[in-house]
Structure 1
């Protein structure tokens, strides 16, 4: 255990794992451990006393922080990540926006938040499409649809207004479920919140504090208000198109005003982002939510009691128009976001460290989120229509089909998937010679004296390095997908004009309509396969630690960032992890210990956010060891406004440059932070940042060591804490902590 105050030369090595979901024994590399703080979701562990070899290199006291159950600790949370994936991706997009300041930055934030609002409205419209358009409007008056369905036939002879009001409760309940899920984290993580210690809310140093701020509650109130206003407006438009009345027109105008007010307040960032409670803003947001919720029963009553006859149509009046308008608005927002991102990329073209996706992450991820949301919504309505139709209608007029806008959405998803697959193949094949050439040069430099019998092993290492260098090329594939989705979404206008995909495609390309119909069926199956894969992936990520290593990157990346755009995204686990780490580090330093923070993969990102929140007197007793770190390779490229050279240097300055970063060429995720420091390229300046990175040759040899029959394994992105070079780095930093001057160091 820890020693009392006064043992200032005692160093505690606090290990934070990555997305692997490893157990405490694996993190500590010791067979027996016990918990010393925290709980089963996020806890601190040490080797169990009484067993040999309980200390680490250079005699440090070992401790591990296990947080893997925070983002996906229960089956319900894991499954919620699957179903809320579009919301999560849209929320990540706001953190990927280009580093604009002033009016341009506020405009980008507004575009991201408006796009998030349209996803909530699309969610409500999808529920309305199933309950109101397909079931209440199309199925109940259709005797072919009601045949053999007693659970629906008892409503078949009811007035249209009554059935619409009854089935409107389903989208209202679906929206209420999201509301409930969004409010739960406020209670789950309340005990872990700490006072805000940063000057700005949109900084990496605010991670762990933002998600508990009033901003999320305000966003939630506005999204709930917009969702209920969309439901009310959809019902009232159907009522007005069939036969207007003074009451229905007045209620529709009021619902539209609520929706406009939500949109306007959502763009008022100085008000929404106020970190402290703001009575006026909180009353406005809460008032809009209460008004929209109270308006819904009034609308249901008006629809039920209005004696005006309903006009028989092939779909709920106005519904297809609403769906088409929402998708069109999303397309416009994506174009605006992409245009500004391209302008930012051109403005920063002369800068250093630019990657192919630098500045384009926001529109690409936003397009992925929007395209996935539209595709899932379309496939849901498409599948329910197919189920209700049964392909057993007596004539074509009795057939139940989804709105044409949804058919176009499925068609666009199919085209985007085909283009993305083709781009992936082209990028892989086109870059392979260059990647192989670089890999051979690295292997030749690392193993110049390899014997002839090691040629097979050398080729394995070359292939591993070449595959690891494919990570940056994946960005091109993502850009292709985002461009195809953004360009294809305006086809919703064709659906509003009652033009079907088979007809348009045949006129423009000559492809038979039957082929397009078959393509729509394939697209629907593909969307269902994606949803099923996400569902199975979520379940196995919860049940299998090895599987979680592969799919956990998406969950941990998405839920690391606070909910700054979409309040219905999965909760930010950093709201607990970062304050919990901060408290533990402060406690250890108060006991007189120096603390060596060692973070693997995403654990290094958690530690960077933690260091930025600690007071100077605590940072003066810290050292930092990162390995397999994506801070520069992924995060600085994807989140240029929040993680850049300046932020990384601030982390180094806070720990007085007691920082080492270990990286390997075979790692597809981690990399160098400040300088690659390859052989023959040693730093020529005394800049302390250039001493941080240490490249590890992987594998360290290509022939079996004495007494062994196989060569050393290729580590890649695995932690490798048992590597002697890792132990040497621990000993180096531990020695620096013990030799530090007595006064606290590090800037404030």
Structure 2
């Protein structure tokens, strides 16, 4: 490509060269405005197609410049049509209206998104499972299974886990509406909590059963709200795609879009155009919620028929009415039917629902083409659950209990439900490590049951010592199974192969926190008049909390105990952060590796890695500018330790939730909820509620503050990566989770690319387009998460357009290799992209990626001296050539450490010749007709191989920008400016501003030349 001679900034109305290259820019999670993507002002752009959620923009009057080096950021090379695709409102819909209402609406929107976090983590866990990859893939340890890519360990468990999250959402609201308000705020006939609104006083004349029947509509309404929000998102995100492309076609998990078993998973036909979770799954979750609430009402009504339950805790053996004779047959029937229906719904979710096309079956070929009436079954179950709920309301309203103030069952049900979720989460830690559920679930089930029964020895006729021993032995056996090594490949997977379990533990911990914040916060609000004290003027009399026993609103034990234990969780997490930050700051400044800059790149020259070794010496800075760059690099390196920090947080949450459940059941056995175990200090037990309120409120305020700060003070935040992971892949775990914007973005961009290449673009959109469609090409220019979307587009495009001469990829500020490739190896790892494997970051090293940098340099040195990829003959392969690090090309270093060299070689393992990867798609054919498949490193000078039409820009000052292939010299990764020239004051560049740099313009020209 050449640049024309013209005066800088002059409008070129009569361009001689017709646009034949479509440069389509795609933003990331930062939601860069279209004008900023096009490097101009909002007045200089216009939309050409789309709606409020997704649209394409172009420059009204493009400009040209003399050369790439002197070109203005907004100037367009001749022969290029530049467009920007904006999809930000699909991820986080902006509020409208005046400034104050718009900002307030944004805050409420972000809070609502935060409430969906547990469901989003569930979806991430689903895709983090070990999915079978194409035969002959890059990873030799992965074996493809017959029956399709979606047959993997843990799919059924995650669907049951998702159902449990929905029920936990309902029980949290039920604890507030039924227990705190419906029961405890109406203990006596005419006494009502003073904090309640006056219109609720009419409930004082109702019976306990009538109040509970009425207030049960509160949690039910919340679940229905989730249902309607989910339905609406399906219309916004998926309706247009269905109408245009699907035409009734179903997803075939056994065949890729090319009809080849060696195609990547993202190339599967209909992957982005078919919902893995249909409306049937939503109906099943609704049915479970109806049945669950009906069971709670029936259980409470039956407890009223047992006089001892008036004074005994809800967890007392005497208050298990299903085992008591002479109870009303209607209540027993409703309670039993609710339990039975819940089991049937769980089985339907796992076995027969259309929402589970990924559950492996013994004879899938016999079921192919069979039309199973899943919609009818889901409808029948929902109708039965609604009828059961109505019967439960009628039965509860007509019940006459012995004591209207007797304890409610919310605490016990919450304990059991969270224990089930915790067991499923811990079992998921071993799915990728070869620990099957048939081994892990029994061990974890024994551990959970033993811990929950501690203190109940007289009931189960087992001493507490036996229960503790059983729990310890079961936990130890599970750890032995989990920690056994299954191969070196786990180091290239997120959290050493424990990704699904980590995500599920985060879901449980987040759900427990949100529910505890709601329940404890509501109880604190209702108790507030008791804590105000008495007095006037400067002094008041402190309240004796011990004297308030019997008057306070009692908080259900699991929520209170978790609030107390949250103190230890937050303290341990902060201690880890402080230690890492302190160690990072007191060490000598380390010269972090930087990419090779293209001339001219405006950045100071700093010391670099030498032959794969890190320079660890103190040296004076060459001025304030260099000091600022180094400081930003170290800040970015500190922010890139999110993975180990998340592992620590997940472990702390697992321990905290386990301790909270154990203490809550022990306290319930000892005489009611809200009591810590007897071995804890008395002052902690006496101040438990105040401590729980303080910690929950502190964390809640911190989260709210970060939301408000992100809206009123826009900035690049690493927390945005959370939504990258949660919302990118299709909803396949929880039907009420955050919608997948890629379900619409990928098909829309794919259609736009194919329209351009085929020449079907309407004339009013491309009046200057090249008429000869054979000359048309596309460059997808993608930032951050946009790079993942662009990769998905390239892998989804029709085979006739998927040629190296037609499509190029320019990425910048992306996390494809270290995050997406590690967290979802089968989707975006080396087996799909053809790049190198990547280790995880270190928590304590000055450079968190030091080991990976060394591996990359070692592997590159080996490629240059004797790797098979260099196509050298056998004589050259066997030669022992020492590299600069002292290691020979045969794999052994001076100390004989062969294993380390094998690990480095594994990171450059090429795929089989028949496997389709992104590298193969984007690499032009060589003169002899063969394709250059691997992009792992530099090739030998003796062999001429074409370079892939993929260039990735990155810089060390970007906390979310990494190499896409290697830290060493390679055909893909190139350096970007570390100083921003387009700003009024010179500042260090971080995650944004790549299109403004000289590196972007020069590498765009290089990419077009490769194509």
TM-score by length of 2: 0.65
Partner of 1:254: 337
Moved more, 547-556 or 571-580: 547-556
Shift of 1:48: 0.6
Partner of 1:74: 94
CA distance in 1 between partners of 2:530 and 2:679 (Å) = 32
Q: Give the secondary structure class of the aligned counterpart of 1:61.
A: strand
Matched-pair contact (CA < 8 Å) for 2:564–2:692: yes
Give the one of 166, 175, 194 matched to 1:129.
175
Matched, 1:444 2:607: yes
Give the one of 696, 700, 706 matched to 1:527.
696
Q: Give the secondary structure class of the aligned counterpart of 2:47.
A: strand
Partner of 1:671: 962
Identify if the C-alpha distance between structure 1 residues 722 and 107 changes in structure 2 by more than 3 Å, giving closer, same or farther.
closer
CA distance in 1 between partners of 2:984 and 2:240 (Å) = 54
Partner of 1:170: 218
Give the one of 319, 322, 327 matched to 2:413.
322
Matched-pair contact (CA < 8 Å) for 1:636–1:644: yes
Partner of 1:625: 810
Shift of 1:218: 2.7
Shift of 1:399: 2.0
Give the one of 937, 951, 971 matched to 1:660.
951
Moved more, 569-578 or 70-79: 70-79
Identify if the C-alpha distance between structure 1 residues 719 and 301 changes in structure 2 by more than 3 Å, giving closer, same or farther.
same
Partner of 2:389: 296
Q: Give the secondary structure class of the aligned counterpart of 2:334.
A: helix
Relative contact order higher in (CA < 8 Å, ≥ 6 apart): 1
Counterpart mapping for 1:344-493 below 5 A: 347=485, 349-351=487-489, 354=492, 357-392=495-530, 396-430=549-583, 436-439=589-592, 443-445=606-608, 454-490=622-658, 491-493=660-662
CA distance in 2 between partners of 1:639 and 1:360 (Å) = 12
CA distance in 1 between partners of 2:241 and 2:608 (Å) = 49
Q: Give the secondary structure class of the aligned counterpart of 1:482.
A: helix
Q: Give the secondary structure class of the aligned counterpart of 1:597.
A: strand
Give the one of 253, 268, 282 matched to 1:200.
253
Identify if the C-alpha distance between structure 1 residues 545 and 403 changes in structure 2 by more than 3 Å, giving closer, same or farther.
closer
Give the one of 128, 148, 161 matched to 1:115.
161
Partner of 2:28: 18
Matched, 1:643 2:833: no
Partner of 2:231: 183
Shift of 1:594: 0.6
Give the one of 219, 224, 236 matched to 2:286.
224
Matched, 1:719 2:993: yes
Q: Deviations over 1:206-251 (max 9, x none)?
A: 6985585262323212211111111111111111222231111111
Give the one of 21, 35, 47 matched to 1:35.
47
CA distance in 2 between partners of 1:673 and 1:353 (Å) = 18
Counterpart mapping for 1:38-53 below 5 A: 38-49=50-61
Moved more, 366-375 or 521-530: 521-530
Q: Give the secondary structure class of the aligned counterpart of 1:63.
A: strand
Partner of 2:1009: 735
Matched, 1:239 2:301: yes
Shift of 1:182: 1.3
Aligned pairs, number:
711
Larger fraction in helix: 1
Identify if the C-alpha distance between structure 1 residues 278 and 386 changes in structure 2 by more than 3 Å, giving closer, same or farther.
farther
CA distance in 2 between partners of 1:440 and 1:14 (Å) = 31
Q: Give the secondary structure class of the aligned counterpart of 1:470.
A: helix
TM-score by length of 1: 0.86
Matched-pair contact (CA < 8 Å) for 2:782–2:790: yes
Partner of 2:784: 601
Matched, 1:508 2:679: yes
User: Please, which runs of 5 or more residues in structure 2 have no aligned partner?
Assistant: 1-10, 66-73, 96-104, 133-143, 255-263, 306-326, 359-368, 436-482, 532-546, 596-605, 760-772, 835-916, 924-947
Identify if the C-alpha distance between structure 1 residues 691 and 288 changes in structure 2 by more than 3 Å, giving closer, same or farther.
same
Matched-pair contact (CA < 8 Å) for 1:666–1:715: yes
Matched-pair contact (CA < 8 Å) for 1:359–1:640: no
Partner of 1:563: 731
Shift of 1:584: 0.7
Q: Give the secondary structure class of the aligned counterpart of 1:37.
A: strand
Partner of 2:187: 141
Q: Deviations over 1:33-84 (max 9, x none)?
A: 1111212321111111376667524642211111111111234754431222
Shift of 1:409: 1.8
Matched-pair contact (CA < 8 Å) for 2:122–2:734: yes
CA distance in 2 between partners of 1:315 and 1:612 (Å) = 58
Q: Give the secondary structure class of the aligned counterpart of 2:994.
A: coil
Shift of 1:636: 1.3
CA distance in 2 between partners of 1:639 and 1:176 (Å) = 32
- Structure 1 vs Structure 2 CA RMSD: 3.7
Shift of 1:320: 1.9
CA distance in 2 between partners of 1:716 and 1:177 (Å) = 40
CA distance in 2 between partners of 1:524 and 1:250 (Å) = 40
Shift of 1:147: 4.8
Q: Give the secondary structure class of the aligned counterpart of 1:290.
A: helix
Higher radius of gyration, 1 or 2: 2
CA distance in 1 between partners of 2:371 and 2:563 (Å) = 44
Shift of 1:135: 1.3
CA distance in 2 between partners of 1:287 and 1:46 (Å) = 51
Moved more, 546-555 or 629-638: 546-555
Q: Give the secondary structure class of the aligned counterpart of 1:458.
A: helix
Q: Deviations over 1:562-602 (max 9, x none)?
A: 21111111211112111111111111111222111110111
Matched, 1:154 2:202: yes
